[in-house]
Structure 1
């Protein structure tokens, strides 16, 4: 029996941040974590990435405990290491030292080899008026679609 593809999104990130560049990173997981992700029991709400000892980590990512995990279960909100090549890591670290830039996860998925991947983005925070402008554009697009469907 083929499972539905896993595609967990951080919908809030595109609203709160202006995305400048994206990268696809691997993620270091334990056995029960990957099983929970395959069931779609993960959330990217309020997650962010940070550097520690020249390594990129994701903080506050919620992966629910696996139901059949028993005493082998993982901690739901632990820091998880992201895997990128050294050129990408240097580029991201240089960019985050500039003012206003941060790294946020946009999407988590399972690739065709069965490995969990995270799409991360180099982003700059939006101001309140930028958020209002985004909402206005979204409403205008919805109104235009309604008009053309009639």
Structure 2
């Protein structure tokens, strides 16, 4: 299950506490574009509505190159499909101040369905980001020595 699209900035900007795998409601041309790798998760985020539905916003899926006039809109809102218990858990954790729901990666599962891995976490402060950069550099140096 190699990710087709990965949000590399998410783990740097947020301290992810929990991850969930969600199905995503797509149109046919969107699936074809994702197969070609024409999707972008960098500015996307998720919103939990009042009637317990989870929507992903700003997920950019380019128009399918062979699509006709019935092609999809690249930045439309897409519904995420989760179990009720998972939605309750997400709702409970996001009620705490500062928690966000962030898409982490988009991939095809073994059955060929598009899945979106989302994470619930808190935004990091600048000093936390600097500390994670230092840790990464130290790990890189120790791997070089070995």
Q: Is TM > 0.5 for Structure 1 vs Structure 2?
A: yes
Matches within 5 A, 1:47-62: 47-52=44-49, 53-62=51-60
C-alpha RMSD over aligned residues: 1.2
5+ residue gaps, structure 1: none
- Alignment match of 1:32 (pick from 29, 32, 37): 29
Change (3 A) 1:6 1:17: closer
Match 1:109 to one of 89, 96, 107: 107
Alignment of 1:42-81 (within 5 A): 42-52=39-49, 53-81=51-79
The whole-number CA distance in structure 2 between the counterparts of 1:96 and 1:75 is: 29
**How far, CA to CA, are the matches of 1:5 and 1:15 in structure 2?**
20
8 A Cα contact 2:4 2:34, kept in partner: no
Structure 1 consecutive aligned stretches of length 4 or more whose deviation exceeds 2 Å: 4-7
Rounded to whole Å, the distance in 2 between the matches of 1:117 and 1:5 is 11
Q: With structure 2 as the length reference, what TM-score do the two structures score?
A: 0.96
SS at structure 1 position matched to 2:111:
coil
> Using a 3 Å threshold, how does the CA distance of structure 1 residues 16 and 82 change in structure 2: closer, same or farther?
same
Q: Which residue of 2 aligns with 1:138?
A: 136
